[in-house]
Structure 1
Amino acid sequence: MRLDIVMPAHNEEHRIGTTLDSYRAVCSDPGTRFVIALDACTDATAEVVAGHAARDRRVVAHEFPKLGKGGVLMEAFARSDADLVGFVDADGATPPGELLRLADAAGTVGGAIACRHHPSAVLPAARPLRRRLTSAGFSFAVRRLLGLPYADTQCGAKVLRRDVVDDVLPALTTTDLLFDVDLLQVAADRGHRLAEVPTIWVDQDGSRVDAVKDTRRMGAGLLRLWAARQRRSADGVPAMPLHAANRFERRARAVALADGLRR
């Protein structure tokens, strides 16, 4: 089965080259493509990628205006015609062999997502405590509000079958860090089965995610996703009890108020 591996990249000149070296060496199948979705890069990322493309025609670059991670992924998905479409962070936190394991699993179900919280997952370097706590809290909120069963919605490595991509893509609306949740929610609401696979995850320096600031923003976005889901009555998805949403909204407001007082 042909596989497209999409890597969203915004100013990744110092990391994308090493990641492509690794992926090109391990993912040797000539039917595998490495699609770099350039998100308004202002550094030398495009030049680094062009150097790889000159040596390996499986490397393809698409340049976009600033669309956010979700926006460039949706555009790259729409341009792909592969049997399997996956995406992975450009920093190389997911080793290429782990992405290929997801592709193998996705071939038998609708798709597969990597999980860092599974007992069998391997994280050679411990993630900072603040990021672990905010990640756990966000995962709990996703399960409570949207009813998704996944322990790790935000891990940046996922592979979907072509038919699943074609079905969910028109319904996706989120272009920021909530893209992964939007993707998983729409897939679940449309009846697609996705496997959660324990992964090896090598935490990388230079993350642009602010553990506190971005989690607050994602919490507000999660409420918007919940509200949008309530309006999609045509899908026949039972609504999450209102009291659960009210509790989450009150908590989000309290955090925002406390943050404003500290400033």
Structure 2
Amino acid sequence: METLHAQSGPPAGSGPSPIVLDVVIPVHNEQHVLAASVHAVRALLLEQFPYPFRITVADSGSTDGTLPIARRLAAELREVRVLVVSRKGRGLALKDAWLSSDALVLAYTDVDLSTDLSALFPLVAPLMSGHSDLAIGSRLARGANVVRGVKREFNSRAYNFILQRSLGVRFTDAQCGFKAIRQDVAQQLLPLVEDETWFFDTELLVLAERARLRIHEVPVDWYDDPDSRVRLASTARDDLLGVWRMRRTRRPLEAHLSVLRATLGRGGIDESPVVAEVPSLAG
């Protein structure tokens, strides 16, 4: 993976205390909203988070003014750093940002802030306490409040139904752009994740569940962004191809996952999720 790192402001982890939380904002051509989003995340953390934190803007191949804006923010705000990935890929940007971070807890939020930031602390608290290994925002869990169109609501529910039927997963929402992971877990789990685009989230969670890691779900308030850059047709195609790949590679990955279970101490009861046998994803 070829990446180019550019960091502004003070060196990562400088100061008397270690960075506790690193919130990554992956971006690609987001000049219209980046500054407002970074300031909103920073204001919330300064007001309510009592530990050292960092905000990492992970730019993946932007061709507009996104990168200059990110660098200006990093020069002005000591909590902000910029990481530049040499090619486009949301999953690639997240993977590189998380693997290069020295923070104890790693999180990310989409730049449009569709997920209400009030859920950030319920998201990271179980990771800081050591109770859970990963945490995800869920728009489909009981207690969530979601405002979006019928088409996107149907697509989301259909995709998660496919995951439950074909891969036997137990989590409720794979695609919400609001997740967190402990750094020690990320260092061992992320090298197993192959996807560099939108399927990254799903693959991460499926592997975590197969490794019997503890996934904490937080019901969120979520508001559909009318200016979303997600292309539903191509994303759906790539997601289905990713699901098919994960069905076929389960056995070869088992040796790696067994090591992960032993290392992270989540062995639990020796059981595997029941996977429904279906002839094809088209069905």
Task: With the length of structure 1 as denominator, give the TM-score of the two structures.
Answer: 0.87
Query: Which shifted more, 80-89 or 202-211?
Result: 202-211
Are residues 1:41 and 2:62 paired?
A: yes
Count, aligned residues: 247
Residues 230 and 180 of structure 1, relative CA distance in 2, 3 Å threshold: same
Distance in 2 separating the partners of 1:67 and 1:79: 18
Alignment correspondent of 2:277: 243
Residue 117 of structure 1, aligned match among 135, 140, 144: 140
Alignment of 1:128-147 (within 5 A): 128-147=149-168
Q: CA deviation at 1:160?
A: 0.8
**Structural mapping, 1:51-70, within 5 Å:** 51-70=72-91
Q: Which range is displaced more, 94-103 or 137-146?
A: 94-103
Name the structure 2 match of 1:193. 214
> How far has the Cα of 1:76 moved from its partner?
0.6
Contact 1:164 1:187 in 2 (8 A): no
Alignment partners' CA distance in 1, 2:277 and 2:171:
22
CA distance in 2, matches of 1:97, 1:115: 14
Asked if 2 retains the 8 angstrom alpha-carbon contact of 1:111 and 1:193, the reply is yes
Q: Does the aligned pair in 1 maintain the 2:168–2:275 contact within 8 Å?
A: no
CA pair 23-11 structure 1, distance change in 2 beyond 3 A: same
| Partner-residue secondary structure (3-state), 1:86 | strand
**How far apart in 1 are the matches of 2:209 and 2:275?**
18
Structure 2 residues not aligned, in runs of 5+: 1-18, 259-270
Paired residue type of 1:93: S
- Is the CA contact (8 Å cut-off) linking 1:8 and 1:38 kept in structure 2? yes
Letter in 2 for 1:15: V
* Residues 213 and 130 (structure 1), Cα distance of their counterparts in 2 relative to 1, 3 Å cut: farther
Q: Which moved more, 1:168-177 or 1:203-212?
A: 203-212
For residues 200-211 of structure 1, what are the structure 2 equivalents within 5 Å? 200-211=221-232
User: In structure 2, the residue corresponding to 1:6 is in which secondary structure?
Assistant: strand
- SS of aligned partner of 2:31: coil
Which amino acid in 1 is paired with 2:81? V
Residue 6 of structure 1 is matched in structure 2 by 24
- Runs of 5+ unmatched residues, structure 1: 252-263
Residue 262 of structure 2: aligned partner:
none
- Classify 1:213/1:40 alpha carbon distance in 2 versus 1 (closer, same or farther; 3 Å): closer
Do the aligned residues in 2 keep the contact of 1:178 with 1:218 (CA within 8 Å)?
yes
Amino acid at match of 1:111: L
Q: 119, 123, 135: which one pairs with 1:102?
A: 123
What whole-Å deviation, never above 9, does each CA across 1:99-158 have from its counterpart, x for those lacking one?
2221113223112100011231123xx311111111111101111222211111100000
Between the two proteins, what is the percent identity of the paired residues? 29
1:51 match: secondary structure = helix
